[in-house]
């Protein structure tokens, strides 16, 4: 029976309706059960085939063209089997890894069987007439609507959606078989299937009927175990580019372009490519990937995952993107822009300490990377050149021109401000202890706090800074001279009394007036304190908070109000600048005060 | 012409589920009655694992959403009542004008009654979840069970619709419109204890020209 040459008359019209009905029902069933490799063509153009039964379905599947469909007789039913194909292994070979793959045989199970047929009834009087033809056609429209809706309610639709979303990662495939007779089913299969028959449509001399046998329960096939990505260990995890930006990303692409597990792909010898591995922090990398030729829809499951099935987990998205590597590098993944994970382009946060790596490289190896509080010398112009000119009078190194600009950025270096404040008050004699008893004063706050500040002062001041540290520690010079950092923070309380008594007799506003003994002790202590502070200081913000809590314990009441200035964010560049300043001051002070200290010590004792 | 009536299975829904449930049911019915040229559009429900089909008619979607909004307002105003939505298909008959009325007569040939029993307490994802974890956790399992039951019931309703549209075809009038929803329709909202419900029914009976009623 040729589709294009129907016999004229009523019989011809009915045959035409029936054949178109068969085509339409097959189109509906295949569209709803078997993912086809054809682009959706649902544009404005309505084809002639779409107008049949007033149901626009788009392009027919390519499989329909290859069927010798219209050579069938009117009496032959059209049986469409929807087959679920799963891989099953031979149980005997489970322990033999070599033969496991060889015995993997796909298990095919008919999960649905649609039968569209014309039931000829000789006893029925032939019904003719235009009205009957139109009525038949109208009922056919309704019947096809029902078939369309029913296909979405049956359990097999879920499997179809899974396969459509996950493609080859779902562990099963849906296939179909069309013939004029249904292959006999096993009794067990028949018992597990339910039957639904649509109300037949009275035709010319018979009835047009559609029925379906379907498996009500598909839980035996473990279709829900289908995941968008296999849970596997990423052997070549490269991490965030923020942690290691110079590291190239390897590319592990499958030769065949099949969707395979990430682990499997990792074993394949694909050349690494820094721009082909998608990352959770990057966007659009997988745009360079493309599906295998001839299988435009064999893209990775994430590319064609339905929106409501898409994972929102950053980890999952990262692994999903990794699975895109099965595409050849020279091809592009279609519709890749559709997938846009929530966290894809955002870089993964790098640990805060990583930002100190360059800083660490600049510093001496023995110094642990950490944030450096703002140097106290960088605030007041009083610490400028007079310090350089009179090292005996000033315990603090002169301000570098660079540090002066930190003064204007008052939001930065809160700890430095505090340090400067301490020195200010020390110099003005507001405190019982000397400024240099900024060291001793600091020590009253707490062991750690004083250690920090004392180390601060020592790093930027001459060894004569009155930090009450024991002299048994290594010198300030050693701090920057050796690989080891043996400075240990001492309890500065006892020396505080010493230095306070000593400094009371002197000009308390000037650090340089400290006794040589205390100066040397304070020098060492300052160095040790500085190192300890550098090693143990928390992050800038924490430091500022910590300083805030400790500020209430100090005797610098005037600084309490100003402590709020500490709580200003500081940058790594500020810390680098401070380090530079510290080194310069250290060198300067060492060169000027080393000999002087030794001579003074001898005179004192 | 007979008016075929289909009373759909009653569904116990919560307030936040009403919109999805009604959309699913109304669009499914209209898809089977939109015998003009349509582009079917698959819609996945967010709350349930159910896919239904729309006609792809934007105007239809707007009208349905409008009616659903009205229904939601009514539910909020009358929380302790069983609510019903009636989807009616009719033919327009130009009636000879009399001194009673010169309106166009509507001949209803099919009516669908969607019965919803809205839960009084508005539980849901926007409910008390933020108030206390202790309140939410014990009821989660119960909600899941209820949700699964509702999904099964909704699926049964959809099967019921398909069965009905297949069984009853002879009463359908000729297709007047070859585009989209081919038959004129109306959606009315009523509640069980509402006096207006009875009035609506009475009005409809007058319009359909029931032999026992005066026309």
Q: What's residue A527's pLDDT?
A: 87
Nearest beta carbon to residue B38 from set A42, A55, A308: A55
**A interface toward B at CB cutoff 8 Å?**
42, 46, 50-51, 54-57, 134, 138-139, 141-143, 145-146, 148-150, 152-153, 157-158, 161, 198-199, 306, 308
**Do A149 and B36 count as a contact with CB atoms less than 8 A apart?**
no
| pTM for the structure as a whole | 0.52
Q: Which of the residues B158, B166, B181 would you substitute to probe the A interface, choosing the one with the greatest number of A C-beta atoms within 10 Å? A: B166
3-state secondary structure at position B108: strand
Contacts of B35 in chain A (CB under 8 A): 54, 138, 141-142, 145
Could you tell me how many CB contacts below 8 A there are between chain A and chain B?
72
Q: Which residue has the tokens 């899974």?
A: A162
* Percentage of residues in chain A having pLDDT higher than 90: 10
**pLDDT above 80 (res B164):** yes
Q: Predicted confidence band at A86 (pLDDT cuts at 50, 70, 90)?
A: confident
**pLDDT above 90 (res A153):** yes
φ and ψ at A83, to 5 degrees?
A: -115, 135
**Do A51 and B37 count as a contact with CB atoms less than 8 A apart?**
yes
Residue of A nearest to B36 (CA): A54
For range A513-533, the mean pLDDT: 74
**pLDDT above 80 (res A567):** no
> Higher-confidence residue: A7 or A539?
A539
Residue of A nearest to B38 (CA): A55
Taking the CA atoms of residue A160, residue A165, residue A169 and residue A173 in that order, the dihedral angle to the nearest 10 degrees is 20
**Do B178 and A54 count as a contact with CB atoms less than 8 A apart?**
yes
**Do B38 and A56 count as a contact with CB atoms less than 8 A apart?**
yes
For range A21-43, the mean pLDDT: 79
Q: What's residue A236's pLDDT?
A: 74
Instruction: Give the tens place of pLDDT for each residue, A410-435.
Output: 444 444 444 444 444 444 444 444 44
The residues that bridge with B118 in the sheet, in sequence order, are: B13
User: Going along chain B, which residue ranges are E strands?
Assistant: 4-7, 11-13, 41-44, 51-54, 83-93, 105-118, 185-191
For range B106-110, the mean pLDDT: 89
**pLDDT above 90 (res B53):** yes
For range A40-60, the mean pLDDT: 78
For range A239-265, the mean pLDDT: 50
Provide the angle, in degrees to the nearest 10, between the axes of the packed helices B18-33 and B58-77: 140
**B interface toward A at CB cutoff 8 Å?**
28, 31-32, 35-40, 42, 44, 46, 49-53, 155, 158-159, 161-162, 165-167, 169, 172, 174-175, 178
Least confident of A137-151, A184-198, A431-445, A580-594: A431-445
Task: Quote the minimal CA–CA distance from A279 to chain B in Å.
Answer: 29
Q: What's residue B110's pLDDT?
A: 93
Task: Quote the minimal CA–CA distance from A366 to chain B in Å.
Answer: 50
Q: Tell me if A162 sits within 8 A of A237, measured CB to CB.
A: no
**Do A153 and B36 count as a contact with CB atoms less than 8 A apart?**
no
For range A502-521, the mean pLDDT: 52
Q: Tell me if A223 sits within 8 A of A158, measured CB to CB.
A: yes
**pLDDT above 60 (res A461):** no
Alpha carbon distances (Å) from B199 to B73, B134, B196, B212: 20, 47, 5, 16
For range A73-80, the mean pLDDT: 82
Highest mean pLDDT among A113-127, A230-244, A353-367, A417-431: A113-127
**pLDDT above 70 (res B24):** yes
Q: Predicted confidence band at A28 (pLDDT cuts at 50, 70, 90)?
A: very high
Q: What's residue A302's pLDDT?
A: 37
**Do A149 and B52 count as a contact with CB atoms less than 8 A apart?**
yes
Residue closest to A519 by CA, chosen among A599, A463, A476: A463
In order, the DSSP letters of A436-481 are TTHHHHHHHH-HHHHHHHHHHHHHHS-TTS-----TTSPPHHHHHH
Q: What's residue A242's pLDDT?
A: 66
**Do B28 and A46 count as a contact with CB atoms less than 8 A apart?**
no
Residue closest to A148 by CA, chosen among B171, B85, B172, B27: B27
> Alpha-carbon distance A19 to A565, whole Å?
86
Instruction: Give the tens place of pLDDT for each residue, A212-221.
Output: 999 988 887 7
Q: Which of the residues B31, B36, B40, B154 would you substitute to probe the A interface, choosing the one with the greatest number of A C-beta atoms within 10 Å? A: B40
Highest mean pLDDT among A89-103, A263-277, A335-349: A89-103
H-only helix segments in A239-306? 262-267
**pLDDT above 80 (res B64):** yes
> Alpha-carbon distance A370 to A452, whole Å?
12
Residue of B nearest to A147 (CA): B162
**Do A51 and B175 count as a contact with CB atoms less than 8 A apart?**
no
For range B159-175, the mean pLDDT: 90
Buried b (16+ CB within 10 A) or exposed e, A99-126: eeeeeeeeeebbbbbbbbbbeeeeeeee
Least confident of A2-6, A181-185, B80-84: A2-6
Q: Predicted confidence band at A185 (pLDDT cuts at 50, 70, 90)?
A: confident
**Do A146 and B167 count as a contact with CB atoms less than 8 A apart?**
no
Least confident of A234-243, A346-355, B136-145: A346-355
For range A12-31, the mean pLDDT: 87
Cβ contacts of residue B132 below 8 Å, gap of 6+? Answer: none
Q: What's residue A511's pLDDT?
A: 44
For range A161-190, the mean pLDDT: 80
Task: Quote the minimal CA–CA distance from A550 to chain B in Å.
Answer: 38
**Do A56 and B39 count as a contact with CB atoms less than 8 A apart?**
yes
3-state secondary structure at position A367: coil
Q: What's residue A524's pLDDT?
A: 84
**Do A149 and B35 count as a contact with CB atoms less than 8 A apart?**
no
**pLDDT above 60 (res A190):** yes
Contacts of B172 in chain A (CB under 8 A): 138, 142
Q: Predicted confidence band at A123 (pLDDT cuts at 50, 70, 90)?
A: low
Buried b (16+ CB within 10 A) or exposed e, B158-183: beebbbbbbebbeebeebeeeebbbb
For range B147-168, the mean pLDDT: 94
Q: What's residue B3's pLDDT?
A: 87
Q: Predicted confidence band at B208 (pLDDT cuts at 50, 70, 90)?
A: low
**Do B165 and A51 count as a contact with CB atoms less than 8 A apart?**
no
Cβ contacts of residue A196 below 8 Å, gap of 6+? Answer: A150, A211, A212, A214
CA angle (B150, B156, B157) in 5-degree steps? 90
**pLDDT above 70 (res B91):** yes
Residue A88 token pair: 């099953």
**pLDDT above 80 (res A327):** no
**Do A153 and B155 count as a contact with CB atoms less than 8 A apart?**
yes
Element (H, E) at A50: helix A48-51
Q: Tell me if A128 sits within 8 A of A10, measured CB to CB.
A: yes
> Alpha-carbon distance A229 to A151, whole Å?
28
For range B187-214, the mean pLDDT: 59
* Percentage of residues in chain B having pLDDT higher than 90: 43
Residue B45 token pair: 């429900």
Look over chain B and give the mean of its residue pLDDT values, rounded to a whole number.
Answer: 81
Taking the CA atoms of residue A131, residue A137, residue A140 and residue A144 in that order, the dihedral angle to the nearest 10 degrees is -150
Task: Quote the minimal CA–CA distance from B214 to chain A in Å.
Answer: 33
Task: Quote the minimal CA–CA distance from A332 to chain B in Å.
Answer: 28
Sign of CA dihedral A183, A185, A190, A194: negative
């Amino acid at each position: 029976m040729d589709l294009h040459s129907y016999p004229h008359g009523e019989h011809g019209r009915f045959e035409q309706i029936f054949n178109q009905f068969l085509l339409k029902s097959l189109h509906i069933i295949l569209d709803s059960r078997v993912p086809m490799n054809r682009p959706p063509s649902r544009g404005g153009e309505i084809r002639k085939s779409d107008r049949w039964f007033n149901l626009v379905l788009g392009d027919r599947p390519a499989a329909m063209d290859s069927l010798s469909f219209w050579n069938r007789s009117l009496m032959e039913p059209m049986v469409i089997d929807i087959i679920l194909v799963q891989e099953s292994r031979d149980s005997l070979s489970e322990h033999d890894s070599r033969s496991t793959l060889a015995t993997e045989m796909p298990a095919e199970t008919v999960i649905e069987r649609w039968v569209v047929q014309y039931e000829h009834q000789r006893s029925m009087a032939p019904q003719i007439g235009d009205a009957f033809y139109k009525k038949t056609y109208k009922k056919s429209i309704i019947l096809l609507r029902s078939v369309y809706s029913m296909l979405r309610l049956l359990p097999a639709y879920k499997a179809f959606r899974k396969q459509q979303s996950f493609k080859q990662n779902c562990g099963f495939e849906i296939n179909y078989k069309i013939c004029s007779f249904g292959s006999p089913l096993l009794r067990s299969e028949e018992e597990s299937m339910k039957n639904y028959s649509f109300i037949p449509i009275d035709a010319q001399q018979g009835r047009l009927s559609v029925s379906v046998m379907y498996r009500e329960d598909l839980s035996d096939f473990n279709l829900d175990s289908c995941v968008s990505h296999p849970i596997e260990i990423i052997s070549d995890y490269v991490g965030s580019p923020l942690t290691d930006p110079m590291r190239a990303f390897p590319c592990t692409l499958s030769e065949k372009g099949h969707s395979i597990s990430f682990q499997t792909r990792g074993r394949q010898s694909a050349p690494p490519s820094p721009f082909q591995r998608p990352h959770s922090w990057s966007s659009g990398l997988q745009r360079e990937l493309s599906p295998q030729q001839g299988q435009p829809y064999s893209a990775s499951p994430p590319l064609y995952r339905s929106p409501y099935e898409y994972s929102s987990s950053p980890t999952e998205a990262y692994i999903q993107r990794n699975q895109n590597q099965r595409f050849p590098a020279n091809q592009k993944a279609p519709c890749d822009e559709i997938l846009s994970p929530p966290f894809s382009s955002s870089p993964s946060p790098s640990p805060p300490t990583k930002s100190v790596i360059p800083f660490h490289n600049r510093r001496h190896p023995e110094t642990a990377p950490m944030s450096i509080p703002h140097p106290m010398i960088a605030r007041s112009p009083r610490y400028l050149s007079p310090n350089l000119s009179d090292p005996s009078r000033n315990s603090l190194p002169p301000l570098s021109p660079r540090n002066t600009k930190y003064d204007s950025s008052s939001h930065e270096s809160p700890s430095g401000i505090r340090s400067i404040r301490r020195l200010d008050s020390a110099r003005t004699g507001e405190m019982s202890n000397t400024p240099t008893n900024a060291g001793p004063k600091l020590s009253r706050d707490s062991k750690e706090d004083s250690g920090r500040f004392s180390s601060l002062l020592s790093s930027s001041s001459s060894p004569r800074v009155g930090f009450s540290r024991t002299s048994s520690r290594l010198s300030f010079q050693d701090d920057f001279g050796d690989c080891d950092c043996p400075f240990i923070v001492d309890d500065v309380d006892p020396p505080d009394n010493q230095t306070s008594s000593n400094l009371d007799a002197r000009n308390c506003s000037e650090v340089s007036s400290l006794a040589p003994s205390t100066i040397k002790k304070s020098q060492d202590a300052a160095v040790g304190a500085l190192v300890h502070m550098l090693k143990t200081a928390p992050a800038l913000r924490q430091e500022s908070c910590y300083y805030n809590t400790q500020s209430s314990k100090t005797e610098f009441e005037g600084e309490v109000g100003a402590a709020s200035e500490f709580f200003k964010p500081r940058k790594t560049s500020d810390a680098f600048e401070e380090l530079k300043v510290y080194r310069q001051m250290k060198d300067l002070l060492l060169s000027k005060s080393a000999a002087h200290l030794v001579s003074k010590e001898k005179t004192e004792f | 012409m007979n008016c075929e009536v289909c009373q759909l299975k009653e569904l116990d829904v919560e307030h936040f589920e009403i919109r999805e449930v009604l959309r699913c049911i109304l669009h499914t019915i209209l898809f089977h009655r939109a015998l003009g040229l349509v582009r079917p559009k698959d819609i996945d429900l967010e709350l349930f694992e159910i896919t239904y089909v729309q006609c792809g008619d934007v105007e239809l979607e707007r009208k349905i959403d409008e009616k659903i909004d009205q229904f939601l307002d009514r539910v909020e105003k009358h929380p302790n009542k069983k609510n019903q939505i009636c989807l009616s298909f009719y033919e327009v008959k130009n009636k000879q004008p009399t001194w009673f009325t010169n309106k166009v007569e509507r001949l209803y040939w099919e009516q669908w009654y969607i019965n919803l029993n809205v839960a009084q307490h508005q539980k849901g994802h926007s409910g008390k979840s933020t108030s206390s974890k202790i309140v939410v956790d014990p009821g989660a399992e119960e909600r899941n069970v209820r949700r699964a039951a509702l999904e099964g019931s909704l699926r049964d309703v959809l099967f019921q619709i398909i069965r009905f549209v297949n069984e009853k075809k002879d009463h359908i009038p000729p297709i007047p419109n070859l585009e989209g929803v081919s038959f004129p329709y109306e959606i009315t909202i009523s509640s069980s204890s509402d006096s207006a419900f009875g009035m609506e029914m009475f009005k409809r009976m007058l319009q359909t020209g029931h032999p026992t009623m005066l026309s």
